[in-house]
Structure 1
Amino acid sequence: MLKTGIFGGSFNPIHKAHLAIANYLCEFAGLDELWFLVSPQNPLKQQEELLPDAFRLQLVQTAIRNHPKLKASDFEFALPRPSYTINTLDALKAAYPNREFYLIIGGDNWVNFHRWYQSERVIEENKIIIYPRPGFVIDEATLPQTVTLSDAPVMDISSTYIRNAIKEGKDVSSFLHPEVYRLLVDYLHASS
């Protein structure tokens, strides 16, 4: 069974913290692969700032081009919306029975996990790896058996910060893969 991390999110856009965490989990947490599962709609987030689905997928594909253990996935694009994690995990297990999936979430998401649709079932039926986020302390002793706390590096970069900085004309190229930065700047300037 291939150990496959599922790192879901809007990746609006994907940035170097996403890549560093994914790389760390593949190299130090025993994952064979990690899939960036680009989500078309997060039920807990506002949609007005969301870049088009295909463009966000293109940015992920561009960012991971030279990382063989990382994959870009549009799996959720064909699922009913909103895309609830439990439905995605059920569909992934049915489509890829030869893989063992690990849901990857940040400490900020774990704090609000009780708000997720069928969160108890997600915990009972799936393995979860939590990576640290600044300002969110997780007590490892309180975690269910299916949940692991990763010691991945703490990184404080947000996609919202990057989009806003670019709109303000700031150079935040060091936060993004160079080609992702170029594509994003071109897109944001063309659409403003």
Structure 2
Amino acid sequence: MKNIGLYFGTFNPIHIGHLIIANHMVENSDLDEIWMVVTPHNPFKKKSSLLDNHHRLEMVFKATEDYDKISPSDIEFKLPQPNYTVHTLAHISDKYPDNNFSLIMGEDNLKSLHKWKNYEVILQDHNVYVYPRISEGKVETQFDNHPKIHRVNAPIVEISSTMIRNAIKENKNIKPLLTAEVWQYIDEMNFYKK
């Protein structure tokens, strides 16, 4: 049975920070693979800065194709909206019964985990791997001694997709923050310029 870490995000766009975290998690934990789960555009929200699902999935594919243990996933694209992590986990566990699925999240998300839909079910059936965030230090939460919560001392990366989109809009060079393939795709498609 493989241990798969699910790293959810809009990846709008995916950047080297995402890859640093994913690679560190798969190389420094008992996870065998990381699936980068592209969160779909919520049809009930008008979010003009969010690229279509297939473009964001394509960028994740381009960013991860050189990594044997990191893969893109569109598993949420066909699920009912809005997406709840507990439903995605139930669906993916049914679809791939020979795999063990865990969540990957930043400390900022751990603070609000108790507000997630059916968070108790998630923690009953799945492990959660938590990476640090710079602004947080070590976050004290009700989950500090929970047997399913695993803190991984990953590098702290303060790069955001919002920062990248804004820099592109301002015609700044952000090439070092993206893989060459993702930068080329964004440039060719003229994304985030307006």
The TM-score normalised by the length of structure 2 is 0.91
Q: CA deviation at 1:189?
A: 5.0
112-121 vs 176-185, which moves further: 112-121
Give aligned pairs, total. Answer: 191
Equivalence for 2:161: 159
Q: Secondary structure of the residue that 1:77 maps to in structure 2? A: coil
Q: CA deviation at 1:142?
A: 2.0
Mapped partners of 2:188, 2:34: distance in 1: 28
Aligned match for 1:172, one of 171, 174, 189? 174
Equivalent residue, structure 1, for 2:71: 71
Give unpaired runs (5+ residues) of structure 1: none
Q: How far does residue 191 in structure 1 lie from its aligned partner after superposition?
A: 6.8
Structure 1 residue ranges, 4+ long, deviating more than 3 angstroms after superposition = 45-48, 188-192
Q: Is the 8 A contact 1:167 1:188 kept in 2?
A: no
SS in 2 for 1:142: coil
TM-score by length of 1: 0.92
Calculate percent identity across the aligned residue pairs: 38
Q: What secondary structure, in the 3-state scheme, does the structure 2 residue paired with 1:163 have?
A: helix
Q: Which amino acid aligns with 1:20?
A: I
Q: Deviations over 1:43-80 (max 9, x none)?
A: 9x973321110000000000011101111111110111
Q: How does 1:93-132 map to 2 (within 5 A)?
A: 93-132=93-132
Unaligned runs of 5+ in 2: none
Write out per-residue CA displacement over residues 125-158 of structure 1, whole angstroms, 9 at most, x where no aligned residue: 2110011112123248824211111101111000
Q: Which one is further off, 2-11 or 135-144?
A: 135-144
1:180, CA displacement in angstroms?
0.3
Q: Give the CA RMSD over aligned residues.
A: 2.1
Q: 8 Å contact 2:169–2:192 — kept in the other structure?
A: no
- Greater displacement, 50-59 / 103-112: 103-112
Whether contact under 8 Å (2:169, 2:193) holds in the other structure is no
Higher helix fraction (1 or 2)? 1
